[in-house]
């Protein structure tokens, strides 16, 4: 709803006071906020027309500014059907910020009729026209002050300056909007709070790309553009693994997570599958001696992949400890930049989010990535009867330039076998 009335809380200037443009003149209260109304011109406050506490319609004249000793015109306390600006200006320097620094004797009015060419066009200087266009003012409603009948900047500028209600200006500033770019729905095309609210409602929020977001965008787009990838999925029976974790829990101490177990199984498998522990760079397959496992970690507004180096040499507990520390530090943003370099394979886990299947995107120049999904209980036919087993879906995306489906499947089965035949390492 547009603001229709305001309550005058307090006059900050008294009649006879000198007021500079932009100086607070009075304080008003609306249904939403309490705010100061600034003087839109410099001069002397000739009259304050309403007492403190009065409720005044928005189009009502509340004060007169002018030269010392000037008599304010007779006042009607009801707004007329042709609205007039809230503060009348009778001052010689109406707009210091514009160059039209002379008599602002014009006003919005229904009469007298402005000068017009016979074809209905309104003569105006380019400067007046430019301002009117920028502020969406109708020149036909402006009365010229120059004897030649053409509108000058000084005729238009005072009207343009008043075209945004103070509340709308405040709301627009908060929303980062230029209120003058909007069509005003208030009287005389004035931009009101409602216009701002409407404008904000329909607008997307523009979020500039952070450095990390930009990097992710570039690398993921590069991966999809360059790499002919395929995703293989299977499920590992991790009932025994879960049981082992329960036993470890009961024994106390830190217990490697299911993801740690996957990392451990993957590290071992990669040592046997050199094409998966590889990078594809400039038409060459580089098979790396060490398994440097990338672990995808969600952070605020993004994703990072710190690297666990020499993972194939670590015990499960050591790998678990390293993974835990690394992830914590990555989340805290404390890892040095080189901790993210040199990965040879990546594991990404959406299991904690209940994801049953997904197709991870390879982190180039690596040749494959393993996605770990949510474990679930499944009925399995075993020995002629149905038993409930815990199943962990795994999704391997591989670069088909390096790894064919059969090789990928063999690798995935090797991981599956490790997890299923779980021996406490």
Name the one range near another protein by CB under 8 A: 148-156, 204-212, 321-329, 392-400. 148-156
Name the one range near another protein by CB under 8 A: 69-77, 100-108, 204-212, 333-341. 100-108
121 binds another protein (CB under 8 A): no
**Beta-ladder partners of 295:** 347
Smallest separation (angstroms) from another protein to the CB of 136: 16
Taking a C-beta distance cutoff of 8 angstroms, is the pair 294, 306 a contact? yes
CA distance 170 to 67: 30
Residue 38: both structure tokens together = 């600034």
Name the one range near another protein by CB under 8 A: 152-160, 193-201, 314-322, 328-336. 152-160
191 binds another protein (CB under 8 A): no
* Strand residues in 365-418 grouped as ranges (E): 368-372, 376-382, 385-399
153 binds another protein (CB under 8 A): yes
Smallest separation (angstroms) from another protein to the CB of 9: 38
For residue 214, the tally of other CB atoms under 10 A from its CB is 11
Taking a C-beta distance cutoff of 8 angstroms, is the pair 139, 115 a contact? no
Interface residue with another protein, options 21, 26, 65, 128 (CB under 8 A): 128
Closer residue to another protein (CB): 101 or 233 = 101
How many positions of this chain bind another protein (CB under 8 A)?
Answer: 15
Helix (H) or strand (E) holding 19: strand 18-19
Closer residue to another protein (CB): 100 or 394 = 100
For residue 208, the tally of other CB atoms under 10 A from its CB is 6
Nearest to 78 by CA among 36, 49, 107: 49
Taking a C-beta distance cutoff of 8 angstroms, is the pair 251, 404 a contact? no
Closer residue to another protein (CB): 130 or 417 = 130
> Any residues with CB less than 8 A from the CB of 111 and at least 6 apart, and which?
none
Interface residue with another protein, options 147, 208, 211, 354 (CB under 8 A): 147
CA distance 266 to 412: 9
135 binds another protein (CB under 8 A): no
Residue 296: both structure tokens together = 């995808």
154 binds another protein (CB under 8 A): yes
Closer residue to another protein (CB): 130 or 249 = 130
Name the one range near another protein by CB under 8 A: 68-76, 98-106, 229-237, 332-340. 98-106
Smallest separation (angstroms) from another protein to the CB of 130: 4
Smallest separation (angstroms) from another protein to the CB of 398: 54
CA distance 11 to 24: 9
Interface residue with another protein, options 101, 180, 220, 407 (CB under 8 A): 101
Name the one range near another protein by CB under 8 A: 95-103, 281-289, 309-317, 396-404. 95-103
Query: x/- binding map, residues 40-79, to another protein, per CB under 8 A?
Result: ----------------------------------------
Helix (H) or strand (E) holding 405: helix 405-420
Question: CA Rg, the chain, in Å?
Answer: 37
Taking a C-beta distance cutoff of 8 angstroms, is the pair 294, 363 a contact? yes
Contact residues for another protein (CB under 8 A)? 99-102, 125-130, 146-147, 152-154
């Amino acid at each position: 709803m547009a603001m229709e009335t305001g309550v005058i809380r307090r006059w900050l200037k008294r009649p006879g006071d000198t007021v500079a443009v932009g100086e607070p003149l009075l304080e008003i209260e609306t249904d939403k906020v309490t705010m100061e109304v600034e003087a839109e011109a410099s001069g002397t406050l000739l009259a304050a027309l309403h007492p403190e506490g009065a409720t005044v319609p928005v189009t009502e004249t509340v004060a007169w500014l002018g030269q010392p000793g000037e008599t304010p015109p007779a006042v009607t306390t009801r707004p007329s059907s042709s609205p007039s600006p809230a503060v009348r200006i009778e001052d010689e320097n109406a707009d210091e910020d514009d160059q039209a620094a002379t008599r602002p004797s014009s006003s919005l009015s229904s009469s007298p009729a402005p000068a017009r060419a016979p074809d209905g066009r309104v003569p105006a200087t380019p400067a007046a026209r430019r301002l009117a266009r920028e502020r969406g003012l109708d020149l036909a409603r402006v009365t010229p002050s120059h004897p030649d009948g053409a509108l000058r900047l000084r005729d238009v500028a005072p009207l343009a300056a008043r075209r945004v209600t103070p509340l709308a200006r405040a709301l627009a500033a908060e929303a980062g909007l230029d209120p003058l770019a909007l069509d005003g729905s208030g009287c005389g095309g004035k931009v009101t709070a409602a216009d701002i609210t409407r404008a904000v409602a329909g607008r997307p929020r523009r979020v500039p790309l952070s450095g990390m977001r930009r990097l992710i965008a570039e690398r993921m787009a590069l991966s999809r553009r360059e790499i002919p990838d395929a995703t293989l999925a299977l499920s590992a029976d991790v009932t025994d693994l879960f049981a082992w974790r329960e036993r470890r829990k009961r024994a106390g101490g830190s217990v490697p997570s299911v993801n740690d177990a996957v990392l451990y199984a993957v590290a071992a498998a990669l040592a046997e599958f050199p094409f998966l522990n590889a990078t594809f760079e400039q038409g060459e397959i580089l098979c790396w001696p060490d398994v440097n496992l990338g672990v995808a970690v969600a952070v605020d507004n993004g994703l990072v992949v710190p690297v666990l180096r020499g993972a194939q040499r670590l015990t499960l507990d050591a790998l678990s400890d390293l993974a835990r520390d690394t992830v914590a530090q990555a989340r805290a943003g404390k890892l040095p930049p080189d901790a993210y370099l040199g990965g040879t394979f990546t594991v990404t886990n959406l299991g904690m989010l209940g994801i049953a299947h997904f197709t991870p995107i390879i982190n180039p120049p690596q040749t494959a990535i393993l996605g770990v999904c949510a474990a679930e209980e499944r009925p399995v036919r075993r020995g002629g009867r149905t038993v409930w087993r815990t199943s962990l879906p795994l999704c391997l995306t591989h670069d088909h330039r390096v790894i064919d489906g059969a090789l990928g499947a063999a690798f995935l089965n090797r991981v599956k076998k490790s997890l299923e035949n779980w021996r406490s390492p």
